[in-house]
Amino acid sequence: DAKTTQPPSMDCAEGRAANLPCNHSTISGNEYVYWYRQIHSQGPQYIIHGLKNNETNEMASLIITEDRKSSTLILPHATLRDTAVYYCIVRVGVVRGSRLTFGEGTQLTVNP
């Protein structure tokens, strides 16, 4: 699986958009970008995933650059409850039953 690079921490004001970047310059053609988050030692929570097109769901939007070497997770209106560690994970295909490899992630702090 391709290596990812994320900033260790970010701050965001409540109600504003939180834009979390991820670099994955060695991503290969069959690898997807997944985002999970972990709120204070709770179980990780799936957010979104994508291959090359931008994706949106009820939680967030995922913007993947055209060369697929980086992506941005967007939380459109951050709330205090979005304070968490956010993990960007690159993973081969949509293989079921295969591991997730978590890195250090980005600690997002949403401030009132």
Residue 98 binding another protein, by CB under 8 A:
yes
Comparing CA positions, the residue from 99, 36, 30 lying closest to residue 68 is 30
Q: Does 8 bind another protein (CB under 8 A)?
A: no
97 is a contact residue toward another protein (CB under 8 A): yes
Q: Which of residues 20-49 bind another protein (CB under 8 A)?
A: 32, 34, 38, 41-46, 49
Nearer to another protein, 12 or 60 (CB): 60
Distances from the Cα of 91 to the Cα of 9, 49, 68, 87, angstroms: 23, 10, 13, 12
Q: Does 61 contact another protein by CB under 8 A?
A: no
Tokens of 76: 């459109």
Give the CA distances from residue 107 to residues 71, 73, 88, in Å, rounded to whole numbers and listed in that order: 17, 13, 12
Residues that bind another protein (CB under 8 A): 32, 34, 38, 41-46, 49, 91, 93-104
